[in-house]
Amino acid sequence: MIVREELLSWLRKVFNLNLYEAKVWTALLSRGVATAGELSDISGVPRSRTYDILESLEKKGFIMMKLGKPIKFIALKPLEVIERVKKNMMKEAQEMVKRLDNLKGTEIINELNSLFSQGIKYIDPTELSGAIRGRTNLYNHLDMMIRNATKELTIVTTAEELNRKFEALKTTLEKAKKRGMKIRIAAPITEKNYKVAKELAKIAEIRSGKINARFALADKKEVMLMVLNDEEVHPNYDTAVWIHSPFLAQALDSVFEETWNKLTPFQKIRLK
């Protein structure tokens, strides 16, 4: 049986399988019921590995072992597999989150913090900068900036990205608001993002205008500059520069203040 490489690659990525698991599973799907030997012949997976692979697939909820002899294996409906995999992933994720939460206040995290504190002493302030690649990483870093900020936050973004930022940062922004943070968001408000802007207006001061920039300022100490046009770059290659520099942050904030005062407050926005 020949299975397209693209399909095998997709299955490995989506279902978190290795190559042998993907081959054996698709082989069993094509037969419905089969022995380990038959699956080895069909998939091209060595017989010495097939039983281990089948055991792994059974534990993950992809297949069932048929009662009786010779031992055979039964394929489950793909939709049923999806539901099982979802449940397993959610359970594993919850367990991982619980383990990470339990680290707080332990000797392990105290030791890690001690190592970090020692290391940061040797860093020149001008070296507190870095490049961030990939939109998910960008939003994760911005999320961290918001969580660490104590006084104020300014976000300048595009019309389309306002929707994405709302989805990625809403909860963190809400918590920042409850801490008493002053939050300003500037973006072109259009029919496509008006509902999101309306929700954000409950958390932050929203203003609209002809803006073609993407950056964030936290406590006038940290700057995050997105260097590419989000409409022209693939999310995986979206790039930002992060700099911890009060001098630069305050300068950028002062320059932006003039623009901010010329923007239209959300309450006065009238879409045509």
Share of the chain above pLDDT 90, in %: 56
pLDDT band at 123 (very low <50, low <70, confident <90, very high): low
Distance (Å, whole) CA 120 – CA 26 = 51
- pTM given for the model: 0.62
The residues, ordered by sequence, that sit 6+ positions from 226 with a Cβ below 8 Å of its Cβ are 138, 214, 215, 238, 239, 240
Give the DSSP H/E element, type plus range, for residue 112. Answer: helix 107-120
Distance (Å, whole) CA 35 – CA 221 = 64
pLDDT band at 8 (very low <50, low <70, confident <90, very high): confident
Where are the extended beta strands (E) located within 124-238? 129-133, 152-156, 182-186, 205-208, 215-218, 222-226
Domain spans, the chain: 5-85, 124-268
The answer to whether residues 27 and 36 touch, using CB atoms and an 8 Å cutoff, is no
CATH, domain range 124-268:
3.30.870.10
pLDDT at 120: 53
CATH class of 5-85: mainly alpha
Asked if residue 87 has pLDDT above 80, the reply is: yes
Residues 124-175 pLDDT 10s: 555 567 899 999 999 999 999 999 999 999 999 999 999 999 999 999 999 9
Residue in this structure with the two tokens 């302030």, named with its chain if needed: 125
Compute, in degrees rounded to 10, the torsion defined by CA atoms 195, 199, 201, 203: -160
Distance from the Cα of residue 166 to its chain's centroid: 14
Asked if residue 119 has pLDDT above 80, the reply is: no
